[in-house]
Structure 1
């Protein structure tokens, strides 16, 4: 028996060891399970707040839906997108006109309800798929990697904006144009019609697009005043005005005693002069422009001065037209080429300031001047009422290159000498109207003094006499006294 007992002890010890190991394994497994369960419960508690809502850092169209249920998220995103799309607009204006009003849809920024559903589901699955530990990790990932989804492309549709701006640019575009003289209307108080210059303008589409996209991106709406690039003409209205400025004006009074025929002769002559445009360097001949003075050419019979005597002739009175023209040419500082005075001073102007004309088949007295300016000379001529409605005047104006600023010309005549006639002329009284016998005389016409006259052209600048030059020295011969003398001897 003692031998048998000795063989069983090792076997018992081995069994006991195995049992102990099993117990320890069970205890260890239970511990591990318990710890795991505790960890899982802790994670569950950690992610529990997000079981029915979206995790942090979830954005759709930059709209945060964190902490919202799917229904709340759908409502918020849809509402804000609708408000965002409809609330922004930008009116493109220029000089009071609105050319186009932009909104987000016109720039390609719109939203799709179908895409919202899709992204909401995708965002939900990110933190609501997998076991608790996967969900926990997904939540942690959002802190460093936010979720962004866009229901449409985030960038603006630049091609659409390009097309809009190109159309606007075409309607605003304008080439620069110079001012031009459109018409010369000699009968108007302001005889020149000038088309003003226009500045050019062009829209810089690229620069404008960049600025609009910046405003759209920042949500800045309202009004955008387009700023075209301006270009400017070479010739402005004021430049044209300087070429048609009033250079000189002459006025002579028409006597109240003038007959209608005489006045009409001045009008006819003026009708041929009025509206004349004299090119630079060209000559103006009174006789060439006015032409022959005949009844067929529209002139009338009236008194005229011939060799110091008043006689009836066709065209009587046109010397007042030539005189007025002469003075206007002088006061415009033009060159006088040909001019003669009357044999006697005339009543309608000062001595030394008249210009006589005559035209027949065998004899001609002309008045000629030359345009010595660099531009055209425009002439207006008219008979009109003077300061008193009862008086008429003849008036001629010369327009052309402007004189120096503040410059005007004035005529000044001086009687250098009075010429007396000592000669007596006897007229035979053949019909014994005034005298009978040879030793009887009767005054027919008193002697008329003659004159030596110097005429000067004075230049004034800002009211100050700056220059004076001699224009002419004229001699009006005296007229001897005339007596009737009888023809019968006693």
Structure 2
């Protein structure tokens, strides 16, 4: 009987005990459910315990605002330090939803699940990381405005020539900021690794080492090719242009594989760049232009390059024949249409020396001589066709007085070739065509003034023009001019 009573008591008391416990847990959980953050919940290092949603949100906002003044040092080109702040880079709070999540802790699930969460908080804090983000455009702007300015262009080692001796000038290392990769690097570090304290970030900088070592440049000492032309008949302006062009090219050093452009080296043709008005070819005529005569510079260099046996990649002949070299031995340059280019196809650097003296221009190319000592190179001009100009062309100009005459000289037309002849031990071993050139034939032309009040003089000048001879027109002009200038004899006055 007693055993039955005990069994009955167990059946009744156990459910009651469980119910009481659940009621107590429920009361405990209910008591802790509120609109405030539970104890033991953090946002980063910020204790949110007991805060309302607004208070918690403001606490984190204030923290992120405070980070805006944190100094961040960017290492730009050459390890130059650029100081900015997190605010300059557009720092913002990236996960504001953490406040809502913190408020919901202990409010979800059944009574037991919620109770368990609350008990766990008594032993271990729940920490929500504060996530931040940065404005990529603001990072880019900072790099472009404050960091790119420290980029340094690499300067290759070079040579100077003084008193007939070469001196090596050391090169300089170049630094160029890689803006795109640096943007990603800064953003990645600050969003994934930054501990919210002052820090230094090394930007991605491309390093360019200068070309040229002293040992390599010391090899440049042999004359590979030299050529001289005369401009003895040139006026002062043309002479100055030739001298200026030689100076602009003088001192050029080309490493193996480098291409040289004569036009780029001497342009622009402006007064500021040292040029004067002088004659140049245009549409079959000689006209004055800034830089007239510069083609004698490129032509002289062309011949030195041929003797050095460098690789010519672009060359044009003049529209009309020139007098300072043989046909096909010229190299014209003109803005937008003609250039003279060549490549250093040798294994060592080459140095170009340009100079003028006594109305002669000389280019000498120095390098390391690797050709056999008994090897000789010559260039021969071969004229294929000669076209003599026809009769003179004379244009009467009634707007100009008799005595006015402007004429353009005649130019013989040519078709020619340039051949390279190689000799070894005094014997010809090869003959190769270098180029073909065609030069315009241009007749002599003149514009002659015909305006006069004297009918007889008008008839005489028109008759002279009709002969088609510029020389005859010049003679008639001389006679008419002399007659017009002769004093008129006055009649004598005396006694009748």
TM-score, length of structure 2 as denominator length: 0.45
- Computing the radius of gyration over CA atoms, which structure comes out larger, 1 or 2? 1
